[in-house]
Amino acid sequence: MLNLKLLGTAAGGGFPQWNCACSLCHLSRSNPVIVPPRLHLQAVLSGVGPERFLINASPDLKFQMESYPPLHPTPECGPRNSPVSGILLTGADLDQVLGLLLLREFQPLRVYATALTRRILEANSFFRMLQRVPGQLTWAELVPGQSFQIGESIVCTPIPMHGGLPYYADSLRRGGQALEDAPANIGLLIESGGRRIAYTPSLPQITGELQAIYNACDLILVDGTFWSDTELSQTHEGTPLARAIGHIPMSGLDGTMDLLRSVSRPQKVFIHINNTNPVLDPRSPERRIVEESGWRIADDGSEWSWNG
Ligand SMILES: [Zn+2]
């Protein structure tokens, strides 16, 4: 048994983004039936047993949890409880960790993170709200390549990714500490009952090793932040290129669809879609190219489930 549910699919800022009047954000505000709004990327994982695991903790987590009954507390278990047994962090970007602060109500939490992600969060005084009483927060260290079990049936293996630190944590690098061997950004290989999912929402490069991992999967969820390298800088002057901020664009030579052409076994799905990405409009030529190339754009609410 393996189940993965997406409660949001958007990159940082969500869709539409509060300060964005680009044609797509405008279209989503004026015609949400055709171009639906999207919450920040948030995944929920479950296997055999009642435990649920969050992959990252989005700024929209409160609404996402209330919209999904399997994450609700059960009255039979007493006044305070939660089926959430752990939170797996694939990075320390604000859109991946802000939701942790919403889970601060004295609830015991088990957070899986690399040593560097833990260091970044512990350097921020806000996160002390998760450690107000003994046993409130338990850390489990993620080490790239080292598999570990969650719940009764799921085995996870962190996939090393490179890429920079979040802007707010850059002082750790300026402090001269050696961080190159201890990534914050990782992917996750998730296995249960012979099924495999690769969860890679932030993809600065695609190595041969990663292609081999993808080819052994049933489902790959892949960084779909940008359609093109220049998309952000064309929409908002002075902003960086996609590759410069750790995201391979979907299209073009050496884009994700090009690099993963030969990966044919799994279902190939894009997640983490930025508000500037033209694939957000289901009528766009870019969306057609994605679908004709054997890919799919995930929706808020998309779900995959395997029994056995
Ligand atoms: Zn926009």
Query: Does the pLDDT at position 175 exceed 60?
Result: no
Residues 6+ apart with CB under 8 A from 207: none
Distance of alpha carbon 247 from alpha carbon 185, whole angstroms: 12
Q: Which amino acid, one-letter code, is at 11?
A: A
Query: Does the pLDDT at position 163 exceed 90?
Result: no
Question: Count H helices, E strands: the chain?
Answer: 9, 14
User: Are 61 and 68 contacting, i.e. CB atoms less than 8 angstroms apart?
Assistant: no
Select the more confidently predicted residue: 168 or 193: 193
Closest CA to 206 of 238, 146, 145, 250: 250
Distance of alpha carbon 173 from alpha carbon 27, whole angstroms: 40
Query: Does the pLDDT at position 105 exceed 90?
Result: no
Residue 278: its pLDDT value, please? Answer: 97
- Alpha-carbon Rg for the chain, nearest whole angstrom, is 19
- Spacing, Cα 40 to ligand 1 middle (Å): 14
Range of lowest pLDDT (49-58, 237-246, 252-261)? 237-246
Residues 6+ apart with CB under 8 A from 102: 57, 61, 62
Closest CA to 13 of 206, 236, 296: 236
Select the more confidently predicted residue: 135 or 62: 62
- Spacing, Cα 79 to ligand 1 middle (Å): 42
pLDDT in tens, 45-78: 999 988 999 999 999 999 999 999 999 999 888 8
Distance of alpha carbon 307 from alpha carbon 47, whole angstroms: 9
- Spacing, Cα 233 to ligand 1 middle (Å): 12
Residues 6+ apart with CB under 8 A from 220: 197, 198, 200, 214, 263, 266, 267, 268, 269
- Spacing, Cα 22 to ligand 1 middle (Å): 4
pTM summary value: 0.94
Average pLDDT over the chain, rounded to an integer: 92
The H or E element that residue 156 is part of is strand 154-160
Q: Which residues surround ligand 1, an ion (CB under 5 A)?
A: 20, 22, 25, 275
- Spacing, Cα 43 to ligand 1 middle (Å): 23
Distance of alpha carbon 98 from alpha carbon 62, whole angstroms: 11
- Spacing, Cα 13 to ligand 1 middle (Å): 9
Is the peptide bond preceding residue 16 cis, with omega within 30 degrees of 0? yes
Q: Quickly tell me which residue has 């009483």 as its tokens.
A: 133
Closest CA to 7 of 78, 64, 69, 66: 64
Q: Name the DSSP class of 164.
A: P
Torsion, Cα 249 254 257 261, to 10 degrees, reads -170
- Spacing, Cα 166 to ligand 1 middle (Å): 21
Residue 107: its pLDDT value, please? Answer: 87
User: Are 146 and 158 contacting, i.e. CB atoms less than 8 angstroms apart?
Assistant: yes
